[in-house]
């Protein structure tokens, strides 16, 4: 799902994306010269692999998202929550997928292994 950068003005433009069991609802609004503000919520179930036992498990993702979108190369990367779309399209699907990939790259334990941790702490 793509939204034309130039179509977004100072009036809030809502978007709703459903993809692979995930939903991404949010708003785009012009926030400056070549800048848009994106706010939204990502919700859905993601299949993850436990970092301890390797079992696949379902993680319910529910996270708010706040990003600045630019259609120009951003020289100063002080603001890390900035994303560049140089071809003039804001690619909502890409943002959703990169959030899911970030989640997958983090260390996660399944419910069983989380419980092991709790028992461990209680015994010692
Ligand atoms: Zn596990």
% residues pLDDT > 70 (the chain): 91
Q: How confident is the model at residue 120 (pLDDT cuts 50, 70, 90)?
A: low
123 versus 60: the higher-pLDDT residue is 60
pLDDT score of 81? 85
Ligand 1 centroid to residue 113 C-alpha, Å? 4
Q: What are the tens digits of pLDDT across the range 10-50?
A: 999 999 999 988 999 999 999 998 999 999 999 999 999 99
Ligand 1 centroid to residue 77 C-alpha, Å? 37
Global pTM value: 0.83
Domain residue spans of the chain: 2-123
123 versus 6: the higher-pLDDT residue is 6
Cα–Cα distance measured from residue 122 to residue 35, given in angstroms and rounded to the nearest whole number: 50
Chain mean position to CA 2: 16
Cα–Cα distance measured from residue 75 to residue 73, given in angstroms and rounded to the nearest whole number: 6
Kindly list the distances between the CA atom of residue 30 and the CA atoms of 9, 14, 34, 50, 108, in Å, as whole numbers in the listed order.
5, 12, 8, 40, 36
Rounded to an integer, the average pLDDT of 51-57 is: 94
CB 38 within 8 A of CB 28: yes
Ligand 1 centroid to residue 116 C-alpha, Å? 9
């Amino acid at each position: 799902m793509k939204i034309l950068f130039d179509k977004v003005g100072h009036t809030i433009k809502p978007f709703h994306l459903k993809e692979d069991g995930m939903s991404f609802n949010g708003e785009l609004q012009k926030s400056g010269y070549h800048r848009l503000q994106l706010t939204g919520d990502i919700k859905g179930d993601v299949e993850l692999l436990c970092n301890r036992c390797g079992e696949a498990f379902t993680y319910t993702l529910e996270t708010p998202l706040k990003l600045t979108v630019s259609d120009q190369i951003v020289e100063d990367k002080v603001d890390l929550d900035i994303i560049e779309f140089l071809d003039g399209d804001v690619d909502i699907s890409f943002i959703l997928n990169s959030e899911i990939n970030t989640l997958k790259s983090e260390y996660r334990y399944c419910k069983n292994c989380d419980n092991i941790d709790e028992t461990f702490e209680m015994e010692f």
